A and B are shown apart, each in its own frame.
Chain A
Amino acid sequence: MSSFLDPTAELAPESRIPLPRRESLVGLNVGFLDISKPRGNIFIARLDELLTQAGAIPRHYAKPTFTRIAPVALKQQIATECDVVIEALAD
């Protein structure tokens, strides 16, 4: 038997169970994260309209640029202020 050296970051595969699906959005803080791509605002505005009608409390956030991952502070803010989050890509 021969062996190779692992070229990867050796991140152990981790199986994670998704959180239980929400029965309803009534009274929940729903975050909308606009990643700052063109027309993302149009998509989010429509979702806001629909989910507000469904009883959700909308909260809006935006990444400074779509080319980079969200700043840690923004992720922490969303995690502390929201019950669920919708991240909106568009073009």
Chain B
Amino acid sequence: MRHYVLVVKEDCETCRMIQPVAAALALSTEFRVFSQDNPNFPGDLPEGFTIEDDRELANSFELKIEIVPTLICYDDAQESERLEGWDRSAWERVCAQKFSPSLPAFRPGCGSKSQDPGMAEKLAVKYGSQQLKARRVNIADGEDEVEACYDRGWSDGLPLVPPTEIRVVRMLQGTLRAADDLVGDVPPDYAPCSIEKIAINAVMAGCKPEYLPVVIAAVEAALMDEFCMHGLLATTYFSGPMVLVNGPLSRAIGMNSRGNALGQGNRANATIGRALQLVIRNVGGGRPGGVDRSALGNPGKYTFCFAEDETGSCWESYAEERGFSREVSTVSLFAADGVQGIVDQKSRTPESLSRSFAAGLRVVSHPKMAMAADAFLVISPEHERVFRDAGWSKARLKAELHDLLQIPGSELIVGAGGISEGLPEKFKDQMLPKFREGGLNIVRAGGSAGLFSAIIAGWGASGKIGSVPVTREIL
């Protein structure tokens, strides 16, 4: 049994043009008409024929209408063909009849009202199958929406984007994963975290839907056991998670890897790092003064996220060093403190510049500490050029720094230099590396001018005792 469904709106010139066609179909076939804007349109239909009022767009949503007019042909209740806009030969073939020769051969339709800006999300909330499970928090009419978020303890101290259902549905369009898919248990409460909860916090952080896969990967990375998110949150130390993004997605979503890469002003950098922190705060329950016992913290605990400048670098990227190809996008997490600058505007040889780097790296945590905190060295383009011109690979620079950062134990032990802080006496006659094996990493980022690089020191409990950097592919 064949029947037809036609979806139209009066506001569309093509829909108005095909009114005689609708009248002919109503006379000769099993036929239903849905009107998106005027239940008396189309006109001139046979007496007694009922036009179905779809001003609420429920049927248009259900039928996934993108263009009007759309003619859908059903055979035995199964959709067999769909025509969008007017194409006389196609309509005549599908309807098995001839239409007025005065009609043009072809005329495109208009956008369906269900596709108006912002409407798709509204309809998805109203009629969609995506059932969001989060508890609804009612906000009184007189309540300021931003203040309401503060009052409920959701904020990191900065204003949040209120997580309305429409915004969360829109955010979830950034991923193919189901809203109720669980990614793991978030410390310190070890509360189960769904994609929906991540999306809610991403909304609040100010993310665009296209950032959501990066945020999800960052949360998953934070939950990897070796990253030790619980300890990182609870520590009295400064550290918090630093998010490094590699691969084509970092460029596709407009992340900043160049001028001011570690600073403010880029939405993706700013909001992805913030979203991760909000998940830890709101889903995990990790808050300053609660389980977060940091003595001082650091500004990166609001957000600390940047991309590596892969296209401008002569070196393999951090992700490539970790075994990922250049075509794959990844998120890496590092338990990081703030940024310490290294100024060297005079070195023009790699030997001299690497000594400057080593001198700066020597003081990570404390000049007398060794194999405690890891570090990332962020090398700017003008500094990298010195190594590029001399043909130094990243591996060679790392090896050079390793050699330069061998320190006599006698300088590090308790009491040496008149400083009580230090290593046990038993290390007095040994040479000790500043960093554990694999504890010093190098990435390239920054603007084209400025002979400056940066050290991002890590948590004093780096390595197996606490946290090791982790990398996860963005899916």
- Chain A residues with CB under 8 Å of chain B are 1-11, 65-69, 91
Q: Provided the pairs A67-B461, A68-B228 are in contact, do residues A9 and B189 lie with their beta carbons within 8 angstroms?
A: yes
Kindly list the 8 A-B residue pairs having the minimum CB-CB distance in the complex, ordered from nearest.
Answer: A67-B231, A9-B191, A5-B134, A6-B135, A67-B466, A7-B282, A3-B136, A7-B200
User: Among the listed B154, B192, B204, which residue makes an inter-chain contact with A9, where contact means beta carbons less than 8 Å apart?
Assistant: B192
Pick from A8, A11, A69: contact of B154, CB under 8 Å: A8
Among B106-114, B163-171, B298-306, the stretch in contact with A = B163-171
Q: Flag if B165 contacts A67 (CB, 8 Å).
A: no
Assembled-state Cα–Cα distance A83/B148 (Å): 44
For residue A37, give the distance in angstroms from its CB to the closest CB of chain B.
10
CB within 8 Å of A: which B184-242 residues: 186-187, 189, 191-193, 196-197, 200-201, 204, 228, 230-232, 234-236
CA distance A5 to B282 in the complex (A): 12
Contact of B466 with A1 in the complex, beta carbons under 8 Å: no
In the assembled complex, B96 has its CB within 8 A of some CB on chain A = no
B136 x A4 contact (CB < 8 A): yes
Specify the main secondary structure of chain B where it touches its partner.
mixed
B-side contacts of A68, CB under 8 Å = 228, 230-231
Do B132 and A1 touch across chains, with their CB atoms under 8 A apart?
no
Taking a contact as CB atoms under 8 Å apart, the answer to whether B139 and A1 are in contact is yes
Contacting pair A3 B461 (CB below 8 A): no
Known: A68-B228, A68-B230. Is A3-B283 also a contact (CB below 8 A)?
A: no
| B164 nearest in chain A by CB position | A4
Which residue of A66, A67, A69, A91 has the most chain B CB atoms within 10 A of its CB atom?
A: A67
Task: For B132, list chain A residues within 8 Å (CB).
Answer: 5
With A4-B163, A5-B165 given, is the CB distance from A65 to B466 under 8 Å? yes
Which chain B residues lie closer than 8 Å to A67 at the CB level? Answer: 228, 230-232, 234-235, 461, 465-467
How far does the Cβ of A63 sit from chain B's closest Cβ, in whole Å?
A: 11
Residues of B within 8 A of A2 (CB): 138-139, 145, 164
The digit string for B248-278, where 1 denotes a CB below 8 A from any CB of A, is 0000000000000000000000000000001
Contact partners of A3 in chain B: CB under 8 A: 136-139, 164-165
Docked CA distance A9–B187 (Å): 11
Known: A10-B135, A65-B465. A5 touches B235 (CB 8 A): no
Q: Knowing that A5-B132, A10-B135, A69-B187 touch, tell me 8 more A-B residue pairs with CB under 8 angstroms.
A: A3-B136, A4-B137, A5-B168, A6-B136, A7-B278, A67-B231, A68-B230, A69-B230
Chain A residues whose C-beta falls within 8 Å of the C-beta of B465 in the assembled complex: 65, 67
List 28 A-B pairs, Cβ < 8 Å.
Answer: A1-B139, A2-B138, A2-B139, A4-B145, A4-B148, A4-B164, A5-B134, A6-B137, A7-B134, A7-B154, A7-B197, A7-B278, A7-B282, A8-B282, A8-B283, A9-B189, A9-B284, A9-B285, A10-B134, A11-B285, A65-B466, A67-B230, A67-B234, A67-B465, A67-B466, A68-B230, A69-B230, A91-B236
